[in-house]
């Protein structure tokens, strides 16, 4: 279980790093793709964070559906940006 | 509910992977290849979860996720190595 | 203005590749270079370059981040030509000469380098700040 928590914690860091870099890139260049991208990675970071929380809380609290939904929404935003903003 | 969300998630991740693949072809920047692989891995991960009816807590699940995020990390590292070389 | 077919000097080429992402940035830089001590806001630059104020702001901030302009924070950010090193000053002078004589090859060079959305995505992951 410690491994699972560490792995997901690493994923949180990577995802949030991407979100921050893309956010700064969006502010710098104004490219719409980066707007949707930073939102996606922020969402993925959040989903991974909730996964860590899920491991740490007991069975009464199950964040599974929320995590899956957030991940789906986040990726949908990315795909929306990728398809419409990339010529 | 969950299998549907996971299936949709897998499809959307795979779609993102495909677009990154296309970006790799048009920019010849391996950065995008790594992102594409990462998202394909995440799609496969979600697909496998659908078949397993687990909560993403099986070991395969987090190792695959780890590899997917390490690919993103590798993409970032490689991009900055070549950026330094260019200047 | 003569249309000179000879190639752009290598150092100017390199300078443009590394420090300028668009024709608007080129013209913004040269405008401030020409005007030496002028303290310029985004609004002022927008008027001179016929672009929107937000776009001018982005251009000015980018040029400042790359060490070509000096910025003062007043009510709004105010920019002035202020290259961080003597080499950058020299290159900008060279660029200004090239611009007067070889405008077309120069803009063609920049246009061929217009960053696509995909490239901007990848650029965002550069930690060093230059394009």
Q: What tens digit of pLDDT does each residue of C44-86 get?
A: 999 998 888 888 998 999 899 888 999 999 889 999 999 988 8
C81 has which bridge partners?
C69
Distance to chain A for B66, nearest Cα, Å:
6
Q: How many CA atoms lie within 13 A of C20 on its CB side?
A: 24
* Cα–Cα distance measured from residue C69 to residue C63, given in angstroms and rounded to the nearest whole number: 6
Which among B13, B19, B65 is the nearest to A83, CB-wise? B19
pLDDT in tens, B50-81: 777 555 555 567 889 999 999 999 999 988 87
Residues contacting residue A59 through CB under 8 Å, at least 6 positions apart: none
To the question of domain C10-116 being in CATH 1.10.10.10, the answer is yes
Query: Would the CB atoms of B57 and A4 count as touching at under 8 Å?
Result: yes
Instruction: Identify the burial level of A53 via C-beta atoms within 10 angstroms of its C-beta, where 0-12 means exposed, 13-18 middle and 19 or more buried.
Output: middle
ipTM score? 0.89
Q: Do you know the residue count of chain C?
A: 131
The set of chains that have 3 or more CB pairs under 8 A with B is: A, C
Where along chain C do its domains lie?
10-116
| Euclidean distance between CA atoms C34 and C57, whole angstroms | 19
Which residues of A fall within a CB distance of 8 Å from B1? 65
- Asked if residue A31 has pLDDT above 90, the reply is no
Axis crossing angle, helix B30-52 with helix B59-86, rounded to the nearest 10: 170
Express each pLDDT in A34-70 by its tens digit: 999 999 999 999 999 999 998 888 778 888 889 989 9
Judge whether A41 and A16 are in contact, CB under 8 Å: yes
- Please provide the DSSP assignment of C55-124 as one string: HHHHHHHHHHHTTSEEEEESSSEEEEE--SSHHHHHHHHHHHHHHHH-HHHHHHHHHTTPPPHHHHHHHT
């Amino acid at each position: 279980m410690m491994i699972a928590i560490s792995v997901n914690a690493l994923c949180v860091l990577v995802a949030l790093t991407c979100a921050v870099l893309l956010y700064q890139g969006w502010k710098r260049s104004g490219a719409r793709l980066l707007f949707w991208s930073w939102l996606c990675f922020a969402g993925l970071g959040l989903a991974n964070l909730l996964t860590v929380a899920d491991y740490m809380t007991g069975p009464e609290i199950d964040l599974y559906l929320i995590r899956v939904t957030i991940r789906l929404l986040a990726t949908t935003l990315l795909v929306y940006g990728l398809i419409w903003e990339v010529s | 509910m969950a299998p549907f969300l996971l299936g949709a998630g897998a499809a959307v991740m795979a779609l993102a992977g495909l677009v990154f693949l296309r970006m790799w072809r048009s920019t010849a920047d391996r950065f995008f290849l790594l992102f594409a692989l990462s998202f394909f891995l995440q799609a496969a991960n979600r697909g496998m979860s659908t078949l397993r009816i687990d909560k993403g807590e099986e070991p395969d699940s987090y190792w695959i996720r780890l590899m997917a995020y390490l690919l993103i990390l590798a993409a970032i590292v490689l991009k900055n190595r070549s950026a330094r070389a260019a200047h | 203005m003569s249309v000179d077919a000879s190639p752009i000097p290598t150092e100017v080429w390199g300078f443009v590749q590394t420090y300028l992402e668009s024709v608007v940035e080129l013209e913004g830089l040269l405008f401030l270079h020409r005007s030496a001590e002028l303290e310029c806001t985004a609004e002022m630059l927008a008027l001179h370059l016929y672009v929107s104020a937000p776009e001018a702001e982005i251009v000015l901030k980018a040029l400042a981040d790359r060490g070509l302009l000096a910025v003062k924070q007043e009510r709004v950010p105010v920019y002035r030509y202020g290259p961080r090193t003597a080499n950058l000053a020299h290159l900008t002078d060279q660029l200004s000469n090239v611009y007067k004589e070889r405008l077309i090859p120069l803009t063609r060079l920049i246009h061929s380098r217009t960053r696509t959305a995909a490239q901007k995505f990848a650029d965002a992951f550069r930690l060093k700040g230059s394009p």
